[in-house]
Amino acid sequence: MELTRRDATAALAAIGATGGVALGVRRTTDAGAGDGADGAVDGAEELPDDEAVRETMAATAAAVYPEAVSGIDAFVGGFLDGRLDGSAHGEGIRAAVAELESTARSWYDAPVADLPVADRDELLRGLGTDTAEEHPHGTTAERVRYYVVNELLLALYASPTGGELVGIENPQGYAGGAESYTRGPP
């Protein structure tokens, strides 16, 4: 099942973005990575720019999304257009991605995007993000769970396509109208 621009728009509409973000029109410069949000990794040499964040997030999505979905890169990129908006949340994503990348380079001597999908899965589990509860100011595992893994899962399963994978075309968080609840199963 292919994720579409509509899905990315819906995911943004569901969980918020700075107004006026046009999907598909990406910023090509990264006006400073900022100082990082609360809980930004100490000692991170350099926070990734927007393109690098998108690349890592899309690569991670390939590991945490079901095999049935396609169109991940465009979906994640479009979604992040609205999230990397200079907010504390956007900077939290950037910092968590930095930690994930730092760990990948340390353990595998390669960036996340260059790892086989199985190794990305192993990386996330090795960090403890599978058993961690999300926490925006917690441990590395908790922050990666919050800003990376759950960020991606929230975007997917609050979108129409993600919902349809489960059997609900109007999932919670998606403004899918007040008619679908009256309809029987397809």
Q: Which residues bind another protein (CB under 8 A)?
A: 13-19, 63-68, 82-83, 85, 87-90, 92, 121, 124, 130-131, 133-137, 146, 149-150, 153-154, 156-158, 162-163, 165-168, 170-185
Contacts of 45 (CB under 8 A, 6+ apart): none
Nearest to 76 by CA among 4, 173, 127, 161: 4
For tokens 């396609």, name the residue: 70
> Closest distance between another protein and the C-beta of residue 168, in Å?
6
Identify which of residues 44 and 165 has a Cβ nearer to another protein in the complex. 165
Identify which of residues 45 and 67 has a Cβ nearer to another protein in the complex. 67
> Closest distance between another protein and the C-beta of residue 68, in Å?
7
> Closest distance between another protein and the C-beta of residue 31, in Å?
17
Nearest to 57 by CA among 34, 91, 83, 80: 80
CB of 21 within 8 A of CB of 182? no
